[in-house]
Structure 1
């Protein structure tokens, strides 16, 4: 259970608002999966559009597989669009962790070891083995929206019977604080533009991030993934399984304060 709250914040830093169905109908005429789609501006506009909801509350069950025993966690995730993401975690009816992310950074504490973090987004980037996560990318990652910097000139779009595949033409170079990291990226979307899979390879060290979204559910004109799976492959492989069980657009209080006698975790 070491660093439980921190691990889970990366989980939902890991784990949208579109209306569509999940199941696609097969086309009797085969569609090329190799011929690029030349007129793709409408696709890029659709998959990179910003969420318009004010707030959403998500009840979830989270399972973390990282080589240590961590019980199934019940999570409440509350997102105020573009402003903050708050979460509370319980296990066996006991509060075990709480965290909050804003555009300024992330904070979280866990009760098992009585530790807390207070960091910019470099901490989450280190956990996810990437360098581009900021608040908006974190929110998009949780909600199943495109979270990797994406533009037409760097990607090739192809269509298939299940939907669309977006692949990087050349290495994607992302510069943060003077340091450039190169990636190859492949993203799959359903025929109604819901994100279904992202595979991201860090070319400097061969680390890999995979994120899967499925079982999209319509809720009051919005579509959310009920199941999210995040796989982080580095020196070892960590896996986070998130089952979103309920969505609610009502407002709620999001208290956060570190209990007395908790020790700050060093950022490495």
Structure 2
């Protein structure tokens, strides 16, 4: 993958949780008898509902047999901003519906642009809402019962478009116990690209069911990148600031 892939993928994986009275969500009684319409309605009723979020985010990045781990501070204002800050503000980023921005003090560079790079990298058209939904355990694409069909296989509901798109295929696996997303899979067979987001565990925070651990696998040809995310110390609905200013003299990254 190209230079700065780690930073961009990390930006794409920003949003998550864990707070004072956190409980890992355990499997309840499975219900395999829902129609597609009922299933999509049940999934929609579990949608995360918060105004702001603050947490520590542990990111483990693996590529070409090498692995590195980073812990960052993360803040979010739902539907408006995602903010990340590494220790000593070495790397700081701000993602909004309009653009993606970050700077890196290790090499005095910055980026300030749109979602084009992320869209090309992950093999599907991305915007702020898609990135946010992906990270909080919601389906990347809005589910409508008239456009999707559901079946049961290997202890999961499999939701897919009634007619798959010409250039890429989409599959959502939903948990039959709590109707949250277990996995999202988007493939571009002709370009040998595959993106898989697995929600390893969920946690209950202030009566919200939110991801606790996420594993992201991005494959392009014979190159595989794996990102594991773990979200700790989350607090919800506090007054938060999102400071961001690109230092003077930094060189802009051109993609």
TM over 0.5: yes
CA distance in 1, matches of 2:103, 2:179: 36
- Conservation of the 8 A alpha-carbon contact between 2:52 and 2:239: yes
> Structure 1 residues 234, 102: CA separation in 2 closer, same or farther (over 3 Å shift)?
same
> Structure 1 residues 70, 253: CA separation in 2 closer, same or farther (over 3 Å shift)?
farther
Deviation at 1:265, TM superposition (A): 0.7
Superposition RMSD in Å: 2.8
One of 238, 243, 246 as aligned partner of 2:230: 243
Q: Does residue 35 of structure 2 align to residue 47 of structure 1?
A: no
CA distance in 1, matches of 2:201, 2:209: 10
Which segment drifts farther, 39-48 or 193-202? 39-48
Deviation at 1:100, TM superposition (A): 1.0
CA distance in 1, matches of 2:30, 2:14: 33
Please report the TM-score for the alignment, with normalisation by the length of structure 2.
Answer: 0.84
Cα deviation per residue 1:44-78 (whole Å; 9 max; x = unaligned)? 23434654311111211101112385631112221
2:62 is matched with which residue? 65
> Structure 1 residues 118, 48: CA separation in 2 closer, same or farther (over 3 Å shift)?
farther
One of 176, 185, 206 as aligned partner of 2:170: 185
CA distance in 1, matches of 2:242, 2:128: 17
CA distance in 2, matches of 1:237, 1:86: 26
Q: Does residue 182 of structure 2 align to residue 196 of structure 1?
A: yes
1:8 is matched with which residue? 10
CA distance in 2, matches of 1:127, 1:26: 36
- Conservation of the 8 A alpha-carbon contact between 2:94 and 2:100: yes
Q: Runs ≥4 in structure 1, deviation > 6 angstroms?
A: none
- Conservation of the 8 A alpha-carbon contact between 1:20 and 1:223: no
- Conservation of the 8 A alpha-carbon contact between 1:209 and 1:231: yes
CA distance in 2, matches of 1:222, 1:201: 30
2:122 is matched with which residue? 128
- Conservation of the 8 A alpha-carbon contact between 1:185 and 1:200: yes
> Structure 1 residues 70, 263: CA separation in 2 closer, same or farther (over 3 Å shift)?
farther
CA distance in 2, matches of 1:20, 1:5: 29
- Give 5+ residue unaligned stretches, structure 2: 18-22
- Conservation of the 8 A alpha-carbon contact between 1:57 and 1:77: yes
CA distance in 2, matches of 1:160, 1:20: 25
- Give 5+ residue unaligned stretches, structure 1: 174-181
Q: Does residue 91 of structure 2 align to residue 104 of structure 1?
A: no
Deviation at 1:106, TM superposition (A): 0.9
- Conservation of the 8 A alpha-carbon contact between 1:20 and 1:192: no
Q: Does residue 77 of structure 2 align to residue 80 of structure 1?
A: yes
- Conservation of the 8 A alpha-carbon contact between 2:217 and 2:227: yes
- Conservation of the 8 A alpha-carbon contact between 1:216 and 1:224: yes
Q: Does residue 204 of structure 2 align to residue 210 of structure 1?
A: no
CA distance in 1, matches of 2:37, 2:12: 32
CA distance in 2, matches of 1:11, 1:68: 21
Cα deviation per residue 1:122-159 (whole Å; 9 max; x = unaligned)? 1221232222x111111111111111243323322123
